[in-house]
Structure 1
Amino acid sequence: MDDGDRLLHSARPVVMGVLNVTPDSFSDGGRYTDVEAAVAYGAEMCRQGADIIDVGGESTRPGADRVDAKTELARVLPVISALVAAGVPLSVDTTRAEVAAAALDAGALVINDVSGGLADPEMTGVAAAADCPLVLMHWRGHSRRMYELAQYDDVVEDVRRELGQRIEEALAAGVRADRLIIDPGLGFAKNAAQNWALSAHLDRLLDLGYPVLYAASRKSYLGSLLAGPDGSPRPPDGRTAATVATSVLAAAAGVWGVRVHDVRQTVDALAVWRATGRPGLVAR
């Protein structure tokens, strides 16, 4: 069993640590654009208990401008190479097949495609050829126009159906079913009420029969929930407790993994949840 298989068949929820090597990510943009700082932080998250570190070189926050492939590669490859040399398991957060292929060649284990294979038709072919785990997130368009695309008849059933289409396309491209992971895409072309509806009905996504990655960490709908008396949303660095709560609830619902900025707090909270002896993941 290789490292990718071990991740896919983990007996407990996988904790994926977020490492944005961009100047403009919504929560930590600019902190880890220096390779040395990024590598140190990735290694630290691993020591805190992260099972895998997700390295991204293009911001997908609402309204973000795209960067070209050359820029994205220049941001992620030095960090991936150094972390792989340090023995840190990695995924690459990208919508470009070219970047995914280069990251895999550098030692990344997993492709995390927030477009679910829609942004680049070559992505599923890269994943199939590498026989690596592929995260397919629900997505309707790039960051500049994601909010105008938040129109659903029934967000849970629509997301379920559209993820099913992404799964079918990946399988048709040769990706093995046991390499696929799905993600409801919280915050991507979804408003707060739609994010909460998806979180409350994760069972409908789990019924598709694939591991689910849950990624609510520090997102704006948590900030809105925690707004101050004047209505101002809680800033990203004040959303840790809410993020941890969502991670535990998702784990109890049976998700495969959680993608978070606050690794230590999440690992600790999941340890408490498992200690109760009633974790939903085991019961499924």
Structure 2
Amino acid sequence: MDKKFQCGRFEFVLNRPIVMGIINVTPDSFSDGGVYYSIDAAINRAYKMIDDGVDILDIGGESSRPGSDRVSSSEELKRLLPVIESLKNCGVPLSIDTYKPDIMKSVISMNVDMINDICGFTKPGAMEAVASSNCGLCVMYMNGNISNMHDCFPNMDVVKDANIFFTKQLSSFIKYNSSIMNRIVLDPGLGFGKTIEQNYYLISQLEKLRVLSCPLMVGVSRKSMIGKLVDRSVSERLCASVSCALISVMYGANIVRVHDVAETVDSLKILNAINSNEAR
């Protein structure tokens, strides 16, 4: 029987890869900083992704690129709330990319469907903010913390450390809500405190990260781990990003977080067709 993922108002049967589209309502994100900073631009981008076949929209109001400045909760909400209000009935789940518990509470009150936390709900109050909701929850594994999240730790056994972290966080979540497991997704956090070699190793070992049978999400789109390998600028990383998303699915990812929705959806349709023929 295919595993199900409860994502707020929506439920996914994970019999195919899920595509999450990135909407950065920020002036300084590494890939598209400023392009969708205005409310109208972000909304138009979201509806284009919906037309292209996106399954989940992931909206972020603070950049996590190397060197980016932290923003206040009030500024983050100022960026997020108008976009959430405009898209709340768009027909696909809305995920909010935030690590701040007060932001989580505010957006959950607006009936968003998922919280995507790069800190893996380690901030004081984060678990309490989300445990009693019906939101999907993405627990990301970061080496280090929010202040040094792009420093590398080359001697670390990233698979072992990720499993320790996921097991600890899931155990804590279960104490808050024993029925929470069908709402949790795990993300190895590619690019956050890992070397290039560690990032690609984590992709090759995805199935070893499936703690308590949780679905897995991978976000690699346009990241420096791709640019440094293929020697391409951010704007030239489309083919490599789509390839990496496709390979991640082949190694076990259930959800891929991407900028280029149409191209990823098309590629996954081919993979799904091949897999369907293999199952006959």
What TM-score, normalized by structure 2, do the two folds share? 0.91
Identical counterparts, % of pairs:
37
Partners of 1:252 and 1:278 in 2: CA distance = 14
SS of residue matched to 2:82: helix
Report Cα offsets for 1:114-173 as digits up to 9, x if no partner.
10011x221211221213211000024445422335254312111222222222222223
Q: d(CA) in 1 for partners of 2:21 and 2:159?
A: 26
Where do 1:168-247 residues align within 5 Å? 168-174=171-177, 176-206=180-210, 208-227=212-231, 234-247=232-245
**8 Å Cα contact 1:7-1:14 kept in structure 2:** no
Say which is worse superposed, 239-248 or 264-273, in terms of deviation.
Answer: 239-248
Map Cα deviations across residues 58-117 of structure 1 (whole Å, 9 max, x no partner). Answer: 101122211010000000110011011333421000001111122122231001111001
> What's the offset of the Cα at 1:278?
5.4
Residue of 123, 127, 137 corresponding to 1:124: 127
Identify the range of structure 1 (212-221 vs 79-88) with the bigger mean alpha-carbon deviation: 79-88
**Matched residues in 2 for 1:256 and 1:5: separation?**
19
* 8 Å Cα contact 1:223-1:235 kept in structure 2: yes
**2:110 counterpart of 1:106:** yes
Q: What letter matches 1:35 in structure 2?
A: I
1:20 equivalent to 2:24? Answer: yes
- In structure 2, relative to structure 1, the CA distance for the partners of 1:269 and 1:107 (3 Å cut) is same
Q: How far apart, in 1, do the equivalents of 2:86 and 2:92 lie?
A: 9
Deviates more, 1:121-130 or 1:14-23: 121-130
The one-letter amino acid paired with 2:30 is: F
Q: What's the secondary structure of 1:198's corresponding residue? A: helix
Instruction: Give the length in aligned residue pairs.
Output: 275
5+ long unaligned stretches in structure 1: 228-233
CA contact (8 A) 1:211 1:255 kept: yes
What residue identity is the alignment partner of 2:177?
Answer: G
Unaligned regions of 5+ residues in structure 2, if any? Answer: none
- Which of 246, 250, 253 is matched with 2:251 structurally? 253
Output the CA distance in 2 between the equivalents of 1:18 and 1:219.
13
2:9–2:93 Cα contact (<8 Å) kept: no
- In the TM superposition, 1:62-81 aligns within 5 A as 62-81=66-85
What TM-score, normalized to structure 1? 0.90
Q: Is the 8 A contact 1:136 1:181 kept in 2?
A: yes
- The whole-number CA distance in structure 2 between the counterparts of 1:218 and 1:7 is 28
Q: Is the 8 A contact 2:7 2:134 kept in 1?
A: no
Report the alpha carbon displacement of residue 276 of structure 1 after superposing the two structures with TM: 0.9
Kept in 1: contact 2:113–2:134 (CA 8 A):
no
RMSD: 2.2
SS at match of 1:50: coil
Aligned to 2:267: 269
